[in-house]
Amino acid sequence: MKSKELNKLLVESFPNLNEEYVEETSWQEDDDTGSHTVYGDVFTPYLTGCIEENKQIELVQAFEYVEKILELQDEYAVDVVTFSVLESIAYLFKEKKDLYNLLGVKTKESIKEFL
């Protein structure tokens, strides 16, 4: 999967992030901006905010999305989600242990190395 496809999948799955996405990519390579940048600067802050504000519905949706990406078994997509999202939020799992219950099987496997 290329950056463009992975980036578009994010915005299609989370239309509420479109404004942040455009702001992040418009001064770079638009939809071709590297997904590590997009996920790290758009999705991760969104997910962090949901965790800090305990937005359960959004968290379920976000972690289901992460699981879906990991299930693709696409090397690039897995790398992006693992290192630009999960590694960045792992510290929050130490503070909020109940978050672990929201994770799918592949997400639990991926985040283990950072806990």
Q: Note the pLDDT tens digit of each residue in 68-115.
A: 999 999 999 999 999 999 999 999 998 888 999 999 999 999 999 898
**Where do the domains of the chain lie?**
3-112
Residue 85, C-beta contacts closer than 8 angstroms, at least 6 positions apart: 39, 40, 43, 44, 47, 66
Query: In the prediction, which pLDDT does 49 show?
Result: 97
Cβ atoms of residues 81 and 70 within 8 Å? yes
Write down the pLDDT at residue 2.
94
pLDDT of residue 94: 85
Res 112: pLDDT: 92
DSSP state, residue 28: T
The answer to whether the CB of 77 falls within 8 A of the CB of 6 is yes
Identify the pLDDT of residue 31: 87
Report CA Rg, the chain: 13
pLDDT mean over 33-46: 96
Nearest of 15, 35, 16 to residue 25 by alpha carbon: 35
